Chain A
Amino acid sequence: MNIIRYIIQKEFKQIFRNKAMLPIIFVLPLIQLIILSNAATFEVKNIKFAFVDNDKTSLSRELVEKFEASSYFNVMTDFPSEKLASKAMLEGKVDVILEIPSYFERQLLKNKKADLSVIINAIDGAAAGVENVYINQIVQQFTKKAQVELFLFNNLGNQPQNIETIPSFWYNETLNYKTFMVPGILVLLVTMITLFLSGMNIVREKEIGTLEQINVTPIKKYQFIIGKLFPFLVLGMVLLTVGLIISKLLFQIPIVGSLTLMYIYTIIYILVILGMGLFISNFTDTQQQAMFIAWFFMVIFILMSGLFTPIESMPQWAQLLTEFNPIKYYVEVMRMVMLKGAGLSDIYPQVLKTFLFAIAMNALAVISYKKTS
């Protein structure tokens, strides 16, 4: 036990003495948390909205005003023809074109029905879908109002019953995007820092030659590994704490669930990541190689974690792969515990799987770490 203490002591001294690394460890992740949480949003706003009004009646103007009133649309000036509007879309100046046909008002009055043409730039398919929903909502509101104003007298008898759904949003009542993203981004930061630091740490000793000196001592493998990894476990926990404080103070993210549960799960999770870092460093000779491999896994894990894209919409084989993605479980656990107040029984599957990963990863790391070549 004593020997492990000496290694831990030395690691901490080196970490705090490295004036270049300290800000990287503590300041950069927090800047990332603040920037990413504000920037990484799927809300579609400031849609560049163009219209071609061939009708030029009070009703068509009222429709356009509806769009102007919406905070999601930036209504641009009237385009005289659909052709010019299309050209503007090609140049990227316009996201959505609404074309109001001539005789729009007349048709609506006469037939109680009129067609509108909407063109949406769908290069970003997800955004296009959202834009479509917004446009439909506005048009529906418009028709409802038009119905009341225009047809009330004629249709008193058979006025269509309006069915309205009133959604209530649970766990994130205000649909605040940050509430959803911040726990996930916190996960990324804890993961990145612990993986990169642990992965590079042992390789660095290989590079400067001190690892050889260590290997000549009678130190036991487990002593060296525990001593090496423990400081990064502590760092990860500190990072989580600072991140949670910022989430609470800066973003007002609710922390509904048990902090103890969050911390205990995080310890198990960081063990997985540290095992991985050590495993990587066993198979690399330079920090550059270690960094590259760590980055490779990081990108796959992040993109397949359900943080940015829902796992449910991935193809079957990809969903299967995500079963082996520790980041996925951590994101799930953080969101469940932080936002829903999930207890141990709710996150039991995640805890169990993460625990198994931790054992497997560290066993691999210890086996592959060789004092002798």
Chain B
Amino acid sequence: MTKDNMIQVQNLTKMFGDFTAVNNISFEVGKGEVFGFLGANGAGKTTAMKMLIGISKPTHGAATVAGYNVLTEAEQVKRNIGYMSQRFSLYNDLTIKENIVFFGGIYGLSSADIKEKSQAMINELGLHDMADSLVGSLPLGWKQKVAFSVALLHNPKIVFLDEPTGGVDPITRRQFWEMIYMEANRGVTIFVTTHYMDEAEYCDRVSIMVAGKIEALDTPKNLKGQFQVDSMNQVFLKLARNIE
């Protein structure tokens, strides 16, 4: 394991009864990398991610995230990561500001710190008019941007994004990826699952999961070369078909 690896996964397996949701996967993610975690619905992406963020216990195998073992040091892992779930996970019945205060608060930030950060965030997102409106009243794209920023409040070393752009229009998706790049440039490691193959092109490296296994892992460019196609979409289709 090199010093720069933020995520180190070895033979990670999760079984639900007889069903193997995640089958013996291994990979590592370096610091500041944008790592795309692709796969069809039900391929085991979310299950794998839940093990990495410490809310699901692996059946076999080991993983360290930000230098901490997910099995034995889950609370340390949680302190160092941000997470944005597939289901929208801010409180709809609180305002943007209140959500920031709440999540900042439970990460143990001081109230001065929270104040400063929420101001910075509202400036950055240009949300002055909406800071006191309920999150439930925002369009989905805005919600996702706010959720991403909230996931970054406590300066995590790694951010896990589970299909962050599902159902979002192309322009907002574009803006969202700009935010991702900005954070990556600041040295934050990004671990992102997605369905959109055009988004896969934005990643430094991608892994493609099929039926619980990682079937391909490389830079988008190399993968396209390997499968002799010219888009990630085709790589994905070719791979999924070959397996079936």
Per-residue 0/1 for A209-233: is the Cβ within 8 Å of any B Cβ (1 yes, 0 no)? Answer: 1101111111100010000000000
Residues on the A chain within 8 Å of B142, using CB: none
What number of B residues sit within 8 Å (CB to CB) of A?
30
A373 to B90, CA, bound (A): 21
Q: Which of B55, B57, B74, B92 contacts A212 (CB 8 A)?
A: B55
A214 to B55, CA, bound (A): 10
Instruction: State whether the Cβ of A111 lies closer than 8 Å to any Cβ in chain B.
Output: no
Q: Which of A3, A10, A212, A219 contacts B85 (CB 8 A)?
A: A212
Instruction: State whether the Cβ of B198 lies closer than 8 Å to any Cβ in chain A.
Output: no
Judge whether B88 and A6 touch: CB under 8 Å: no
Q: With A2-B108, A3-B106 as known contacts, state yes or no: A216 contacts B91, CB within 8 Å.
A: no
- CB of B105, distance to nearest CB on chain A (Å): 3
Instruction: State whether the Cβ of A166 lies closer than 8 Å to any Cβ in chain B.
Output: no
Instruction: State whether the Cβ of B94 lies closer than 8 Å to any Cβ in chain A.
Output: yes
Instruction: State whether the Cβ of A17 lies closer than 8 Å to any Cβ in chain B.
Output: yes
Question: In chain A, residues 1-52, which have Cβ atoms closer than 8 Å to a Cβ of chain B?
Answer: 2-3, 5-7, 9-10, 13-14, 17-18
A213 to B150, CA, bound (A): 11
Contact count band on A: 20 to 34
Judge whether B78 and A216 touch: CB under 8 Å: yes
Instruction: State whether the Cβ of A372 lies closer than 8 Å to any Cβ in chain B.
Output: yes
- Identify the closest chain A residue to B92 (Cβ): A208
- CB of B31, distance to nearest CB on chain A (Å): 21
Q: Which of A2, A3, A5, A210 contacts B91 (CB 8 A)?
A: A210
- Identify the closest chain A residue to B74 (Cβ): A372
Judge whether B103 and A14 touch: CB under 8 Å: no
Judge whether A218 and B78 touch: CB under 8 Å: yes
Main secondary structure of the interface of A (DSSP, over half): helix
Instruction: State whether the Cβ of B141 lies closer than 8 Å to any Cβ in chain A.
Output: no
Question: In chain B, residues 85-143, which have Cβ atoms closer than 8 Å to a Cβ of chain A?
Answer: 85, 87-94, 98, 101-103, 105-108
Q: Which of A10, A209, A218, A372 contacts B89 (CB 8 A)?
A: A209
- Identify the closest chain B residue to A217 (Cβ): B106
Residues on the B chain within 8 Å of A61, using CB: none
A50 to B103, CA, bound (A): 73
Instruction: State whether the Cβ of B56 lies closer than 8 Å to any Cβ in chain A.
Output: yes
Judge whether B107 and A216 touch: CB under 8 Å: no
- CB of A265, distance to nearest CB on chain B (Å): 33
- Identify the closest chain B residue to A215 (Cβ): B55
Instruction: State whether the Cβ of B38 lies closer than 8 Å to any Cβ in chain A.
Output: no
Instruction: State whether the Cβ of B81 lies closer than 8 Å to any Cβ in chain A.
Output: yes
Judge whether A213 and B83 touch: CB under 8 Å: yes
Q: Which of A210, A216, A217 has the most CB of B within 10 A?
A: A216
Judge whether A10 and B57 touch: CB under 8 Å: no
Contacts beyond the supplied A6-B101, A216-B83: 9 A-B pairs with Cβ under 8 Å? A210-B89, A210-B91, A212-B85, A216-B54, A217-B78, A223-B106, A371-B55, A373-B50, A373-B57
Closest 3 pairs between A and B when the two form their complex, measured CB to CB: A6-B105, A209-B87, A213-B89
11 A-B contacts, Cβ less than 8 Å apart? Answer: A210-B89, A212-B55, A213-B83, A213-B85, A213-B89, A214-B106, A216-B55, A216-B81, A217-B78, A217-B107, A372-B54
